Chain A
Amino acid sequence: MAEKFDVIVVGAGPAGTSCAYTLAKAGVNVLLIERGEYPGAKNVMGGVLYRKQMEELIPGFYKEAPVERPVVEQRFWMLGEKSAVTMGYKGLEWGEEPYNNFTVLRAKFDQWFASKAVEAGALLINETVVKECIVEDGRVVGVRTDRPDGDVYADVVVLADGVNSLLAKSLGFHKEFKPSQVALAVMEVLNLPASKIEDRFNLEPNQGCTIELFGDATKGMVGTAFIYTNKESINIGVGATLSSLIKSKLRPYDLLDYVKNHPVIRPLVNGGEPQEYAAHLIPEGGYHAMPKLVGHGVVVVGDAGQMVNSIHREGSNMAMTSGRLAAETILLAREANDFSENMLDSYRVRLMDSFVGKDLKKYKDATHTFEENPQYFKEYIPMLNKAASEMFTVDGTPKRDKQKKILQMVSQRRGTFKALSDIYRAWKVMK
């Protein structure tokens, strides 16, 4: 007789663990299955974790959790080949409770988070791959794992299996993602003494900084590079849509080394000792790429449901909220003893009504538009750098002439009408 749980959650990332934690806390018998050696062993993210959605699960988590630094400054650099136009916000209020976000290292954080779910009563099984969902009469009733006699049954199965959600795909919830719907990111963790980090990034101890890099950092491809400060290391990475990587034929790790050696970036990372190299896909298809999220006895959460806001580099917070909302819906379904698609669909409704659905909807055309119109990354950022250089270089030319020259450059390289319509298009997808 195979074992039966109330709920099986596949994948112990932020989405799955949030779901399992919420259910276990409510006394539900939940099995959390992780294919890695431990939670986080297969997970990668740039490294910024937002406080709010995590705290909705575990108030005051940062007092106990392995977080690196609270972020007090977010910088945005529009990179030229030997220059940068920079912008950012430094808010010391972010250095105090309640913080805005923290840098984290996923392998450490995910293990801690999953341990909280276990403390709450969830059963965590590592090193186990779910091969398929067990479907009977059109209902998902359990999962088949790669363990001997590995069938396990449940009222509801939660698919939190990440960007490569083979399970949601095999249920027919979505077709294979297109290369334009995913971004490939590569990253290195570089060790650097805390004092060096604080000097270079203009920080006090226990303050963190993030830098998002556009333009030359991806050689004009749709994507970004980033630098995030941990306690005694920094994460530096670069990501671009898989389609633009394919088109440009750039090797991702060559691009990463290009970013590390960029003359504007090198002084920040110089001497950093590489500790780990990681690659991962980010589901950036957004609203239009979202799969079917609910079926009989099954719901999809987190990356598996394409819940990433690539414009604001948010994802793990969306994952956590979706996991929590799924759990809350399952609790209602248990009360009604009804695990049908109709009942579980209230998860989808609540999700789309939350910031997750609203933000995905707001930027529903953004990635696609930038993908179709590479001029934003490829032409305007270099132009912006040239314009700034022109304006700030004092060489005896009157400012009016400089302005004229800049406008001429824009209209020559892009055309006045085209430039105006580019501005309108960008405003439309971002508004």
Chain B
Amino acid sequence: MEGDEIMSAIPLKKADIEAKQYLVRFNADTKSHLTVLDHDVCLTQCPDKLCTLFCPGEVYKWEGTRMAVGFEGCHECGSCRIGCPHENIKWEYPKGGKGIVFRLA
């Protein structure tokens, strides 16, 4: 496996993504703008749970039988919509003014 090869070959310290997310201002809506369409697809057809790896906000967490979606920390980058190999994520913009608020970037 190519990824494992890279991971084992280098001393990649796991980043503290929670600390990074604390730097960002989120004006979260009460309703999610991200929807996993079918949790069974994640369970049976996606052994690597890829969205839990590439999502830059660690929005997706696999909870054994279903995919938990922490939409409150979403950067609205669109990676999950494009990167989900099963097109299993419905992706919308959060309501106007809601969601991530960059102050610098």
Contact = CB atoms under 8 A, between A and B. Distances in A.
Q: Do A and B come from one complex?
A: yes
A116 interface: no
A142 interface: no
Interface string B45-56: 000101001101
A404 B78 CA distance: 49
The binding surface of chain A is classed by DSSP as mixed
Contacts of B79: 182, 184, 242, 279, 281
B6 to A, nearest CB: 5
A249 B48 contact: yes
Contact of B78 (A252, A254, A281): A281
B27 interface: yes
* Interface size band for B: 35 or more
A250 B96 contact: no
Contact of B97 (A37, A182, A233, A277): A37
Interface in B7-41: 7, 10, 12-15, 17, 19-21, 23-24, 27
Interface string B72-105: 0001111101110101000111111101111111
B102 A43 contact: yes
Interface residues of A, number: 61
A152 B15 CA distance: 45
A260 B35 CA distance: 33
B3 A179 contact: no
B2 interface: yes
Given A37-B101, A219-B10, A253-B17, A278 B24 contact: yes
A276 B105 contact: yes
A248 B5 CA distance: 9
B35 to A, nearest CB: 14
Instruction: Report, nearest first, the 10 A-B pairs whose CB atoms are least far apart.
Output: A127-B97, A249-B3, A279-B56, A257-B15, A277-B20, A164-B78, A127-B96, A279-B75, A128-B96, A44-B105
